[in-house]
Chain A
């Protein structure tokens, strides 16, 4: 067991020495790997932030009920009665006068509203059902549509569905991007290790002659690939962290201008570790492929 540890420690030391002795090459490789992992890493955190936004928005799904423009107070009363019986959630009546006042307050709308000969807006109800399952909401929407003097019923979760579809698309694109850049990382490591094997041909030849096993010869290259990939992953995490820190302020400001409180979250420690681990695994894979092919000529 101590021999096993000694060999692994020696292999790790050899890999660190190789990284240290070629600082320029190491830096360039880390930059390439870091940038390759930054894009999918950034995409992941960004989409996750947007998914949080979708989740918080979907918790207040609403149905907007618009009355006919000629609906009377009695008609409105009838709807209120039906809502009391039909819905277990909250609902709120928005009189046409209140709607017009709100419209007037909207930027650039005051003059337009003032120029109108009469109020074109109908009375409305905003309904927030307790059960926000899409199927339940759809059934409720259809039922309400059949009530007297109801002109239009709008299920306000449609945008959430579209937003969710957009997120799914974004997630797919992110995984495709991760796959492409992951393959790039494997290729970078493959080439670096291939050059190292060529440069150390004499050492490998001598080591084999004096009793080195394949595992002994391969091990430092595996450690090198994993270390390079892992450090590249760490660099990517730092780049993602930096980019999100820079963007967080302007994004929050933009969101507040639209009346929201959306903010970008920074990567969690587990996600940083995940990025480092992913880099290490891909680096190891590149080393494995490269060493297997490069060492054939020594057989």
Chain B
């Protein structure tokens, strides 16, 4: 469960990206954060992923207030999230398999078990046949699916995505939508920041609509 109360994020210089936002997301729910460009969607995702810290307010995820945790605890909190970015943030000098292995190396899973789980994650997103390919050799849609495989390989309870279909054609975007929906159906909480209305029409999710940092 995610509970945000009076959440604010003010950047140095005074710009307030998120203003007094309160919401609740139940476990296993699919939630979309929508709004026009600059509405504060990305900042809200970053606050949830502990990439940014709130200026004011509290953000409780699975009983832990992310606004008050120690810096040294942040890496362990992040392991509960699967993160997918619009620009994927893949490592282009590593194969698809090695990219997916990274989160498992971080938690220190033995190599054999890690490879088995990484291959299973690649299989779920339809990329097992391309496990040895470098990301540069993959299409935009495949790169985004690879990023999803990396996000889910650690079996996170919450999948966070920021504009995951922003750079994709409609066919690839539909594939990504399907993958997120499949994870949601097996109980993963999915939170996606997007301006793609097809998500709303197709899955009727919980929607948090932002405008100039405020929830409307």
User: Which residues of A are interface residues toward B (Cβ below 8 A)?
Assistant: 2-4, 6-7, 9-10, 202-203, 205-214, 216
Extra 16 A-B pairs, beta carbons < 8 Å, given A6-B110, A207-B102, A209-B78 = A3-B107, A3-B109, A4-B108, A6-B105, A6-B109, A6-B111, A7-B105, A7-B108, A10-B111, A206-B89, A206-B91, A210-B78, A210-B106, A213-B75, A213-B76, A214-B72
The answer to whether B89 touches A209, judged by C-beta atoms less than 8 angstroms apart, is yes
B76 touches A211 (CB 8 A): yes
Interface residue from B89, B106, B110 paired with A211 (Cβ < 8 Å) = B106
User: Is there contact, CB below 8 Å, between B78 and A211?
Assistant: yes
Contacting pair B108 A6 (CB below 8 A): yes
Residue B137 is within 8 A (CB to CB) of chain A in the complex: no
Q: How far is the CA of A7 from the CA of B102 in the complex (A)?
A: 11
Asked whether A211 lies within 8 Å of B107 as measured between CB atoms, the reply is yes
Contacts of A6 in B (CB 8 A): 105, 108-111
Secondary structure call for the A interface: helix
> B121-158 CB contact bits vs A (8 Å, 1 = yes)?
00000000000000000000000000000110010000
B205 to chain A, nearest CB (A): 24
Do the beta carbons of B103 and A205 come within 8 Å of each other? no
Which residues in chain B, 83-118, are within 8 Å of chain A measured between CB atoms?
83, 89-91, 102-103, 105-111
* B62 CB to nearest chain A CB (Å): 15
Q: A6 CA to B105 CA in the complex, in Å? A: 8
Alpha-carbon gap, A230 to B23, bound state (A): 56
By CB atoms of chain A within 10 A, which of B51, B75, B79, B90 has the most? B75
Measured between beta carbons, the chain B residues less than 8 angstroms from A210 are 78-79, 83, 102-103, 106, 150-151, 154
Interfacial chain B residues near A202, Cβ < 8 Å = 89, 91
Known: A202-B91, A203-B91. A209 touches B109 (CB 8 A): no
Nearest CB on A from B99, distance (A): 9
**The residue from A2, A4, A216 contacting B106, defined by CB atoms under 8 A apart:** A216
Complex Cα–Cα for A203 and B99 (A): 10
Cross-chain contact B107 with A209 (CB below 8 angstroms): no
List 14 contacting pairs A-B, 8 Å CB cutoff, sorted by A: A3-B109, A6-B111, A7-B108, A202-B91, A206-B91, A206-B102, A209-B51, A209-B78, A210-B102, A210-B106, A210-B150, A211-B78, A211-B107, A213-B106
Query: A residues within 8 A CB of B161?
Result: none
A209 touches B76 (CB 8 A): no
Of B83, B108, B154, most buried by chain A (CB within 10 Å of CB) is B108
Q: Are B110 and A2 in contact (CB under 8 A)?
A: yes
Number of A-B contacts (CB under 8 A): 59
Whether B108 lies near A3 (C-beta < 8 A) is yes
Q: Does B188 contact A (CB under 8 A)?
A: no
A209 cross-chain contacts in B, Cβ below 8 A = 49, 51, 78, 83, 89
CA distance A250 to B19 in the complex (A): 84
Which of B72, B78, B90 has its CB near the most chain A CB atoms (within 10 A)? B78
| B111 and A211 within 8 A (CB) | no
The answer for the CA separation of A205 and B91 in the assembled complex, in Å, is 10
Chain A residues with CB below 8 A from B154, complex form: 210-211
Asked whether, in the complex, the Cβ of A208 is within 8 Å of the Cβ of B108, the reply is: no
CA distance A278 to B72 in the complex (A): 32
- Using Cβ atoms and an 8 Å threshold, which residues of chain B touch A206? 89-91, 102
Set of chain B residues within 8 Å of A203, measured between Cβ atoms: 91
With a cutoff of 8 Å between Cβ atoms, the chain B residues found around residue A214 in the complex are: 72, 75
Minimum Cβ distance to chain A for residue B40 (Å)? 19
Q: How far is the CA of A6 from the CA of B89 in the complex (A)?
A: 25
Contacts A2-B110, A209-B49 given; indicate if A10 touches B89 (C-beta within 8 A). no
Contact yes or no, B75 A211, CB < 8 A? yes
Q: Which residues of A contact B106 (CB under 8 A)?
A: 207, 210-213, 216
A10 touches B105 (CB 8 A): yes
Q: Nearest Cβ distance between residue B94 and chain A, in whole angstroms?
A: 8
- What residues of chain A lie closer than 8 Å to B151, measured between beta carbons? 210
Residue in A closest to B78 when the chains form the complex, CB atoms = A211
Within residues 3 to 24 of chain B, which ones have a CB less than 8 A from any CB in chain A? Answer: none
**B41: shortest Cβ distance to chain A, in Å?**
17
Interchain residue pairs A-B with the least CB separation, the first 9: A3-B108, A211-B79, A211-B78, A7-B108, A213-B75, A6-B108, A212-B106, A211-B75, A206-B89
